[in-house]
Amino acid sequence: MSVDANCIFCKIVAGQIPSRKVFEDEDLFAFHDIAPWAPVHFLIIPKLHIPSMAHVGPEHASLLGKIMTLAPKLALEQGCNPYPQGGFRIVTNTGAEGGQEVHHLHVHVMGGPRPWLRG
Ligand code: 5GP
Ligand code: ZN
Ligand 1: nearest atom to the Cα of 91: 4
96 within some domain: yes
Please, what sign has the CA dihedral across residues 62, 14, 53, 81? positive
Map residue 16 onto helix, strand or coil: coil
pLDDT tens by residue, 7-60? 999 999 999 999 999 999 999 999 999 999 999 999 999 999 999 999 999 999
- CA dist list (Å): 113 to 41, 44, 82, 84, 116: 12, 21, 11, 13, 8
User: Does residue 116 form part of some domain?
Assistant: no
In the sheet with 88-91, reading across from the earlier edge strand, the strands are 21-24, 28-32, 40-46, 107-111, 88-91
Read off the pLDDT of residues 55-103 as tens digits, 9 standing for 90 and up. 999 999 999 999 999 999 999 999 999 999 999 999 999 999 999 999 9
Domain count, the chain: 1
Which residues participate in catalysis according to the annotation? 106
Residue 41 in domain: yes
Contact 32, 12 (CB under 8 A): no
Domain interval for residue 34:
8-111
Assess if residue 30 is contained within a domain: yes
Pocket of ligand 1 (CB under 6 A): 8, 17, 19, 31-35, 93, 99-102
CATH number at residue 23: 3.30.428.10
